[in-house]
Amino acid sequence: MAASEDLTSAGPRLLGPADVRSLAAALGIRPTKQRGQNFVLDANTVRRIVRTAAVSADDVVLEVGPGLGSLTLALLGSAKRVVAVEVDPVLARALPATVASYAPDFAERLRVVEADALRVTSLPDPQPTVLVANLPYNVSVPVLLHLMALLPSLRNGLVMVQSEVADRLAAAPGSRTYGIPSAKAAWFASVRRAGTVGRNVFWPAPNVESGLVAWEHRDPPAVKVSRAEVFAVVDAAFAHRRKTLRSTLKEYAGSAEAAEKALAYAGVDHMARGESLAIEDFARIAEGLARA
């Protein structure tokens, strides 16, 4: 593979292994576990991500953790604009220069926001329509849920996360991997696995396999309670996975009787367990508790 490769004949040059290491050396950067940094070395991988995400010329793409710009460059060749949120000040301030060097014709499409994606409260207009990111693995689920809640403009997305996390996010009720991330993500979107990514495309190579998760926005369940109330029920239901809902919810509800009434209102068997419930069930339980 050449050090730099073209997305198309007129598109941005993409980063190869030599480019990534050269840019990192020039910045004095070594990837850190604390920030979950694993830089993508392989141009074919970022091409695949952009293709799978179905990024169009009308999209405003939100990228979290752009790092040295491997995925950013590929996105700039397909999207109307890329808003890159980067917490590392050295990387955030270097990214525009990298884009100007590798993709000068596309530099005006980039907007860098130096911020922690977990704490960001707003983004510049135009608002993003698609989320495409190699999320830091140590905070991937909180970041994804925060951005889904913060940005109703997001129609769909594709994120790379640890393989086990990808399984949990995409799990259906009744499966072994279904849990809190599965239920909460389902409040916002329909989620599915979209492939795997090998370790050798990263520097440094992580100790875990990676997975792609695709999602499409959907309306939340139509209930007269807040998302926070529903999520509190989800948390309570999975606090002790092996216990029945009557048992796990009685403390949150205030009593076993209150829990039973809420479950009856929702049409859920009080002997069922949280892993068997869809997000609509949790929402009706929360509504039942609010009526008590």
In a domain, 65, yes or no: yes
Task: Look at residue 33 in the predicted model and tell me its pLDDT.
Answer: 61
Query: Do both 244 and 117 map to the same domain?
Result: no
Q: Tell whether the model's pLDDT for residue 104 goes beyond 50.
A: yes
Parallel/antiparallel/unpaired status of strands 81-86 and 110-114: parallel
Query: Do both 169 and 231 map to the same domain?
Result: no
Task: Look at residue 4 in the predicted model and tell me its pLDDT.
Answer: 41
Query: Do both 213 and 245 map to the same domain?
Result: no
Interval 143-160: pLDDT, tens: 999 999 999 999 999 999
Interval 261-274: pLDDT, tens: 999 999 999 999 99
In a domain, 122, yes or no: yes
pLDDT band with cut points at 50, 70 and 90 for residue 3 = very low
In a domain, 222, yes or no: no
Question: What is the CATH number for 231?
Answer: 1.10.8.100
Domain end position, chosen among 174, 189, 217: 217
Question: What pTM value is reported for the model?
Answer: 0.92
Residue % of the chain over a pLDDT of 90: 87
pLDDT band with cut points at 50, 70 and 90 for residue 86 = very high
Q: What is the DSSP string of 70-88?
A: HHHHHHHTTSSEEEEEES-
Query: Do both 9 and 132 map to the same domain?
Result: yes
In a domain, 283, yes or no: yes
As for how many domains the chain has, the answer is 2
Residue 122 CB-density burial (10 A; 0-12 exposed, 13-18 middle, 19+ buried): exposed
Spell out the alpha helix ranges (H) of the chain. Answer: 17-27, 43-53, 70-76, 89-102, 140-150, 163-170, 180-188, 227-237, 245-253, 256-266, 279-291
Query: Do both 53 and 132 map to the same domain?
Result: yes
Q: Tell whether the model's pLDDT for residue 173 goes beyond 80.
A: yes
Domain end position, chosen among 194, 217, 240: 217
Domain end position, chosen among 161, 189, 217: 217
| Gap between the Cα atoms of 237 and 136, Å rounded | 27
Number of Cα atoms under 13 Å in the Cβ half of residue 146: 14
pLDDT band with cut points at 50, 70 and 90 for residue 56 = very high
In residues, how long is the chain?
Answer: 292
Question: What is the CATH number for 165?
Answer: 3.40.50.150
Parallel/antiparallel/unpaired status of strands 130-134 and 110-114: unpaired
Do residues 182 and 171 touch, judged by C-beta distance below 8 A?
yes
In a domain, 87, yes or no: yes
Query: Do both 91 and 186 map to the same domain?
Result: yes
Query: Do both 42 and 132 map to the same domain?
Result: yes
Write out the residue range of the structural domain in which residue 255 sits: 227-291
Query: Do both 213 and 70 map to the same domain?
Result: yes
Query: Do both 32 and 128 map to the same domain?
Result: yes
Q: What angle do CA 68, 72, 74 make, to 5 degrees?
A: 125
Interval 184-237: pLDDT, tens: 999 999 999 999 999 999 988 888 899 999 999 999 999 999 999 999 999 999
Query: Do both 190 and 271 map to the same domain?
Result: no
In a domain, 38, yes or no: yes
In a domain, 204, yes or no: yes
- Residue recorded with tokens 């922690």: 116
Q: Tell whether the model's pLDDT for residue 9 goes beyond 60.
A: no
Query: Do both 21 and 105 map to the same domain?
Result: yes
**Amino acid identity for residue 101 in this structure:** S
Query: Do both 54 and 129 map to the same domain?
Result: yes
- List the beta bridge partners of residue 224: none
In a domain, 248, yes or no: yes
